[in-house]
Amino acid sequence: MAIGIDIGGTNLRAARISGTGEILDRISEKSAPDPELVLSRIAEMVRRLDSPEVAAIGIGVPGRVDARLGAVLSGGYVNLASIPLAQRLESLAGKPVLIDNDCNMALVAEMALGAARGRESIVMFTIGTGIGGAVALDRQIVRGKGTAGQLGHITVDISGEACVCGRRGCVETTSSGTALGRHIARAGLGPDVSVDQLFARDAGGDTLARGILEAWARPLRAAIDSAVAMFAPDLVLLGGGLGLAAHRALANAPALAPWYQCPVEPAQLGDDAGVIGAGLQALAAEATVTQASPVSLPSARLDPGRRAVPTRRAVLVNGIPASGKSTVSRGIADRMGWPLLTLDTVKNPFLEALGGGDREFNRTLGRASYEAIWSIVGEAPAGTTVIVDAWFGFQPRQVLEDHLRRAGVEQTAEIWCHAPGEVLAERYRARLDQRPAGHPGAAYIPELIELAKRAAPLRRGPLFDVDTTKPIAFDAITQWLKATIAADT
């Protein structure tokens, strides 16, 4: 047996699954945007479903997931990239945990027990709070370098709504459940109007309802046509809580390109697909581990007690300029003996050698220095823990996630350094004559004060808050680091 878990934007579902995919017991809870709250609810559901016969746990996670590394790279409505989900649940449950994208899990279930039985190549869209996607070729999930098949982020309108992925006009912004709610609201209808009521109104000749359904379905048809053109599948499946409704709505949005025709059908397993697929995937991975010889044992082995390959770790000492993070970083490095890398350490020699530059040049050099830091980390031996001192908010979050992935950093802890804007201004002003030409001057101080009002920690992994107007409690910080990031060194 296994426990399968499906994390959605609205609901968390968990079930005990037999080796043939039968649901033996099930639980559901409300989802939440707070990753720590989601983890605690999952852990409680696992506790309630667990039994001695349960061999492994599988979790379907929304967003970009590297299943091989067991890492959540990014998320949407529920973003779990800030916590080492698999490792922490393994520690809590004492059983191996496999994670994958939630739509991949659902497609595995549909291939085993549902609408994709006997099909070789399948594209699947899951329509819910957002839109997920998965692709199987020769009945194998397509993963690319680590994560692929994010079909909800096919662009259908380059000038459209902003998407949680950072771009505009993704089909998720037009054809998800959330988008349907926006279409309904913009048409002047109340939030209590359901999709079934829209179909009923449409059948009665209500042109307003027909317009809402078409606005919802036509971009999805465009995304389906694009996926068919890319993959030439045997079948396109529509799953998720609104998969059946989306399939019905597509009747008024037929495929337009005769080159790219493919059957489109609703998935058969409904909300059960995610938990069934997660359970089956976990059992398959555990069976592979059990049967492997010591010589051929895969590096991604599910083992709750240890990792086959030591991973790199990073302590992210975060804070805006003059927040005191350099003092904190040096104090941690002195006490823990870990190497320290800072933006200024890399950047300042170049500013001095080049004689400075304007602010845009300083920013460009900062981005290059940031990349250099993570390149150095990537060359460090496996098992290394590094301290990185930077204001991580000066670049988009995804830039950091990409650097961490390429550097092989699988565990982070964050030290958030802060002080009131007026204190930061005083500190910054006092250091103006100590900084190489090219750093922003006194004109930057009002901007710094405003930045202090809105700056916030990453909340990626465990977080330790440091008010640098008070004496730095280095003993407390080092004890915390030993209990978190250094626990398995």
List of domains in the chain: 2-104+273-291 (3.30.420.40), 115-268 (3.30.420.40), 312-483 (3.40.50.300)
Q: What's residue 225's pLDDT? A: 94
- Do 414 and 318 meet the contact criterion of CB atoms below 8 Å apart? yes
- Considering only residues 221 and 288, tell me which one the structure prediction assigns the higher pLDDT: 221
Q: Mean pLDDT throughout 60-75?
A: 83
Q: What's residue 488's pLDDT? A: 44
Kindly report the backbone phi and psi dihedral angles of residue 459, in degrees, each rounded to the nearest multiple of 5, phi listed first.
Answer: 55, 45
Q: Is 405 helix (H, G, I), strand (E, B) or coil?
A: helix
Given a cut of 90, whether residue 474 has pLDDT beyond it is yes
Least confident of 84-98, 205-219, 412-426: 84-98
Given a cut of 60, whether residue 197 has pLDDT beyond it is yes
Torsion of Cα atoms, 341 then 346 then 347 then 351, to 10°: 150
279 alpha carbon, distance to own chain's centre? 21
**Long-range contacts, stretch 341-348, CB < 8 angstroms, 24+ apart:** 341/373, 341/376, 341/377, 341/386, 341/387, 341/388, 341/389, 342/388, 342/389, 342/390, 343/369, 343/370, 343/373, 343/389, 343/390, 343/391, 346/372, 346/373, 348/436
Q: What's residue 88's pLDDT? A: 87
> Which of the four pLDDT bands, split at 50, 70 and 90, describes residue 79?
confident
Cα(301)–Cα(239) distance, rounded to whole angstroms?
Answer: 30
Least confident of 14-18, 37-41, 255-259: 255-259
Given a cut of 70, whether residue 310 has pLDDT beyond it is no
Q: Mean pLDDT throughout 317-344?
A: 93
pTM greater than 0.85 (yes/no): no
Q: What's residue 304's pLDDT? A: 36
Q: What's residue 359's pLDDT? A: 62
Q: Is 308 helix (H, G, I), strand (E, B) or coil?
A: coil
- Do 63 and 7 meet the contact criterion of CB atoms below 8 Å apart? no
- Do 254 and 224 meet the contact criterion of CB atoms below 8 Å apart? no
Q: What's residue 307's pLDDT? A: 37
Q: Which two tokens stand for residue 352?
A: 């001095």
Least confident of 8-12, 262-266, 350-354, 436-440: 436-440
Cα(202)–Cα(396) distance, rounded to whole angstroms?
Answer: 43
Least confident of 32-46, 51-65, 348-362, 370-384: 348-362
Q: Mean pLDDT throughout 117-140?
A: 92
The DSSP bridge pattern shows strands 2-7 and 11-17 to be: antiparallel
> Which of the four pLDDT bands, split at 50, 70 and 90, describes residue 377?
very high
Angle subtended at Cα 333 by Cα 327 and Cα 338, rounded to the nearest 5 degrees: 150
% of the chain at pLDDT higher than 70: 92
Angle subtended at Cα 141 by Cα 158 and Cα 461, rounded to the nearest 5 degrees: 70
Given a cut of 80, whether residue 7 has pLDDT beyond it is yes
> Which of the four pLDDT bands, split at 50, 70 and 90, describes residue 254?
confident
Given a cut of 60, whether residue 487 has pLDDT beyond it is no
Q: What's residue 486's pLDDT? A: 54
Given a cut of 70, whether residue 438 has pLDDT beyond it is no
List all residues 6 or more positions away from 412 whose beta carbon is below 8 Å from its beta carbon: 313, 314, 315, 316, 404, 460, 461, 485
Given a cut of 80, whether residue 360 has pLDDT beyond it is no
Q: Mean pLDDT throughout 104-120?
A: 92
Q: What's residue 70's pLDDT? A: 80
DSSP per position, 411-447: EEEEEEEE--HHHHHHHHHHTGGGSPBTB--GGGHHH
Given a cut of 50, whether residue 337 has pLDDT beyond it is yes
- Considering only residues 122 and 9, tell me which one the structure prediction assigns the higher pLDDT: 122
> Which of the four pLDDT bands, split at 50, 70 and 90, describes residue 375?
very high
- Do 126 and 80 meet the contact criterion of CB atoms below 8 Å apart? no
- Considering only residues 24 and 301, tell me which one the structure prediction assigns the higher pLDDT: 24
> Which of the four pLDDT bands, split at 50, 70 and 90, describes residue 44?
very high
